[in-house]
Structure 1
Amino acid sequence: KHPAEKGGKASYDEPLDDPVAEKLRQQRLVEEADFAAVKDLFGTDRSLDTFIPKSAKEFDEFARMLAHKYLLPHADSSHYKSLLKSLNKVALVSMTAQETKDVETCLAGIRTDKLKAEREAVKEKKDIGK
Structure 2
Amino acid sequence: MRRNRIVALIGAAALLGGCVQESQQVGRANFEAYCAGCHGDNARGNGPLAGELEVAPPDLTLIALRNGGDFPMTRVMSVIDGYTRADQHGSTMPEFGALLEGPTVMVEYEGGVMTPTPATLVALANYLESVQR
TM-score for the superposition, normalised by structure 1: 0.30
- Larger % of strand: which? 2
TM-score for the superposition, normalised by structure 2: 0.30
Which has more radius of gyration? Answer: 1
